[in-house]
Structures are given as structure tokens and as C-alpha cells.
């Protein structure tokens, strides 16, 4: 049985100090640098998707990891990816899947965001066409920022180390994810049973629009 991961409490006003050693714990003094809520992000309460969905919306993990996330150039990406992966390993030691998954998402976003700026001038991905509709701009194959292209490869290497980690893979399925090799990098693949009513209504409206225009 995996340990309960520090995360969101259902009632944040009644959150309790974590009973699990957090990655911030100072090994020499035994003192914690941060009081984490004792959460209940356990199987069935956390969205499991191969995309970067909720990378900024999973407290307290998101707030902690995003301070390390940088991708300006190769050197910055190297430091950032190394720091984030070190947290992945610390969360792994206490079998905190949510912490591991948020680290993986930041590494993945480091790769995708770096590629976006490397292969698109100014990182601009979309344009408004002559009909006033927003559409994705096609890549030309030209490299506009070599530093970010190199940085993307750094993030990619660490991201793949996460996917290949046996503890992460085991807990991924325990938390309701499809087998990793069958998962797709698509936020729409989140299980409907994990969606909020608002998300379900939005998905239903999208399907209805496609039928009317199809």
C-alpha cells in the first residue's frame, strides 16, 4: 500500500501537518523547511493523464516545482531539469506519485515549450486567418533559437527517465492511468469518471458542435 502523498486536503481549512517525510526535509537536522498539508491525493482523487494538464494547478507541488522551472537557454535548462528530477527522485523515495507526476509534467513542458520557441519565431504558435479564425502556424523547419533547441533535448532526456522508472510506472496504473505504453499525449484522454461536471458539459458541447458541423 503506497504512502499517502502530501497534497490537497478535501477541506483545506482543516488540513493537518504531514506525517510523511517531505522532500524539503533537511537530512542533517531533521527539520522540515515547509509545513505541508496532509493530503488525500490517493488513487481515485487525482487526474492521471500523459499530458501536461494541471501542471500549474496541483498544490502544493506546482508552487514548489515551478520555482525551479526555467528554459531560457541550454545552461538554464540543464540546471532546471536536474533540480526538478532530483525532486522526482525524492518523491519516489516516499512513493508520492502525485509529486513524481507533477515533476514529470514540468520536465515535459520544459521540452515542449523549449521546442515551441526554438522552431517558431518568438514562440508564436497560432495566427488569425483571413476568415478571422485562430489556426496553428505550420513550422518551416528553420531553427530560431538553438539554445532552446538544445535545452529541449535536456528536458527530454530527464522526462524519459521518469517514464522508464519502474516505481512511477507501477504507481501510474495504481492511480488509474492506462498502461503508459498505451497512453497518448492528449489532455482529452482523461477518464470521464475523473472529470468534473463542468468538464463533462464542456466536452458534451464540443461533441454537439462537431455533429452539427459534420
Q: Can you spell out the DSSP letters for 96-160? A: -HHHHHHHHHHHHHHHHHHHHHHHSGGG--EEE-TTS-EEEPPP-S--S-HHHHHHHHHHHHHHH
pLDDT recorded at residue 93: 94
Q: Quick check: 193 pLDDT over 80?
A: no
CB 183 within 8 A of CB 177: yes
**Residue in 83, 80, 94 with CA at minimum distance from that of residue 23:** 94
* 175-199 residues labelled b (16+ CB within 10 A) or e (exposed): bebeeeeebeeeeebbeeeeeeeee
Residue 69, SS3 per DSSP = coil
Question: Using 50, 70 and 90 to split pLDDT, how confident is the model at 183?
Answer: low
Q: Quick check: 201 pLDDT over 70?
A: no
Q: What is the mean pLDDT of residues 119-128?
A: 72
pLDDT per position as a tens digit, 37-71: 334 456 667 878 889 988 999 988 999 999 999 99
Taking the whole predicted model, whether its pTM rises above 0.75 is answered as no
What is each CA distance from 45 to 39, 49, 53, 93, 174, in whole angstroms? 10, 13, 15, 21, 12
- Signed CA dihedral, 89, 93, 95, 98: sign only: negative
Strongest mean pLDDT among 73-77, 93-97, 112-116, 202-206: 73-77
- The mean of the pLDDT values for the chain is 72
* CA–CA gap between residue 64 and residue 192 (Å, rounded): 29
CB 73 within 8 A of CB 151: yes
Provide the 10 A C-beta neighbour count for residue 96: 29
Rg (alpha carbons) of the chain, rounded to whole number: 19
Q: Quick check: 89 pLDDT over 70?
A: yes
Question: Using 50, 70 and 90 to split pLDDT, how confident is the model at 153?
Answer: very high
pLDDT recorded at residue 107: 98
Residue 208, SS3 per DSSP = helix
DSSP 37: B
Amino acid at each position: 500500500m503506497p504512502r499517502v502523498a502530501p497534497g490537497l486536503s478535501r477541506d483545506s481549512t482543516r488540513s493537518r501537518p504531514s506525517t510523511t517525510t517531505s522532500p524539503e526535509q533537511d537530512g542533517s537536522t531533521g527539520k522540515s523547511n515547509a509545513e505541508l498539508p496532509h493530503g488525500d491525493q490517493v488513487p481515485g482523487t487525482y487526474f492521471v493523464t500523459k499530458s501536461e494538464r494541471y501542471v500549474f494547478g496541483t498544490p502544493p507541488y506546482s508552487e514548489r516545482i515551478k520555482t525551479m522551472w526555467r528554459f531560457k537557454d541550454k545552461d538554464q535548462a540543464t540546471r532546471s531539469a536536474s533540480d526538478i528530477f532530483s525532486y522526482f527522485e525524492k518523491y519516489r523515495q516516499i512513493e508520492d506519485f502525485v509529486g513524481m507526476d507533477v515533476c514529470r509534467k514540468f520536465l515535459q513542458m520544459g521540452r515542449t515549450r523549449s521546442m515551441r520557441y526554438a522552431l517558431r519565431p518568438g514562440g508564436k504558435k497560432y495566427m488569425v486567418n483571413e476568415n478571422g479564425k485562430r489556426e496553428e502556424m505550420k513550422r518551416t523547419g528553420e531553427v530560431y533559437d538553438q539554445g532552446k533547441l538544445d535545452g529541449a533535448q535536456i528536458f527530454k532526456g530527464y522526462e524519459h527517465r521518469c517514464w522508464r522508472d519502474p516505481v512511477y510506472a507501477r504507481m501510474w496504473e495504481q492511480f488509474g492511468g492506462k498502461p503508459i505504453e498505451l497512453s497518448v499525449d492528449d489532455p482529452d484522454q482523461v477518464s470521464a469518471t475523473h472529470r468534473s461536471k463542468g468538464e463533462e458539459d464542456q466536452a458534451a458541447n464540443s461533441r454537439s458542435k462537431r455533429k452539427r458541423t459534420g
